[in-house]
A = this chain, B = another copy of it.
Amino acid sequence: MTDHPSANLQISAAPGGDSKPAKPDEFVEALAKGISILESFDAANPEMTLSEIARKVGYSPAAARRSLITLMALGYVGQTNKRFHLRPKIMALSSGFYYSAQIDEVLQPHLRELVAKFGDASSVGTLEQRDVIYIAHNSVQRARRAAAVVGARYPACATSLGRVLLAGLSDGELDRYFDGLVIEPLTSKTIVDPVQLREEIEQVRRDGYSTTVDQLDYGITALAVPIRALDGRTIAALNTSGYSGMVDADFLIANRLPELRATASRIANALTRYPMLVSIIGS
């Protein structure tokens, strides 16, 4: 129970064998535990019993219970009968980040523009460990399910945004990404072979864009390009996506790539006026 899932991509060069995460020795276990319980709620498990939670996070029922009681007292978790669930207050945490970083003001206008021009959907995402996190999103009405909601988190390797972001890593960082990577397929088309993924990422580096078809889920086809800081570092990625069948990869490249790139560079340009946002988004 002493190993933390935090992989700390950037910290510790960690040459080879000893792959222990080398946690900083001042570390509040109880805090990490409580947060990992918050993390354990997801789309697949919106409400769970105590024992389910304890099993999922790997703590004793007693410990899980203590954390849950605390989280309930704080208003982040609720309980109906024997099942626990997150409460709306959890969203207030993210709002602190959200508009402190002025994400909406800076990004939404550009996303709206893209969606107005091409329809479908457009998102901006950033890399967090091995996942891509969507920090802004815009889409046309098109209900069905909201595939990408702000704050959504998906394996980087299975999304166009993620592959562009991975392509933007240094070789060393990329090596660390692949170190011990196991990809579980989300669709039958998901690339699961690390070697193949690496080739794909090298290709993205050459092309400067990435397309994915049915990688994250069936029906999603997307095209992404990097958003680069002045120094060339990839700090985020921008995509446009539609439903497979309505669009395909070649269509996106032919019709949307130039405008997507132009928008990415406009965003990059706008970001120079928000240095804090850059430092927050970039690791």
Q: Could you tell me if B70 and A32 are in contact, using CB atoms closer than 8 angstroms?
A: yes
Chain A stretch 20-44: residues in CB contact (< 8 A) with chain B: 23-24, 26-35, 38-39, 41-43
Collect the chain B residues with CB atoms within 8 Å of residue A30's CB. 28-31
A61 at the interface (CB under 8 A from B): no
A73 in contact with B23 given A30-B28, A91-B94 (CB within 8 Å)? yes
Could you tell me which residues of chain A, from 32 to 72, have a CB within 8 Å of some CB in chain B? Answer: 32-35, 38-39, 41-43, 45-47, 65-67, 69-71
For A, the interface residue count at a CB cutoff of 8 angstroms equals 78
Chain B residues positioned under 8 Å from A86 (CB to CB): 96-97, 100-101, 280
Q: Measured between C-beta atoms, what is the minimum distance from A130 to chain B in Å?
A: 11
Report if A117 contacts B (CB, 8 A): no
Decide: B100 and A135 in contact? CB cutoff 8 A. Answer: no
What residues of B have a CB within 8 angstroms of the CB of A8 in the complex? 73
A236 vs chain B, min Cβ distance (A): 9
Q: Does A219 contact B (CB under 8 A)?
A: no
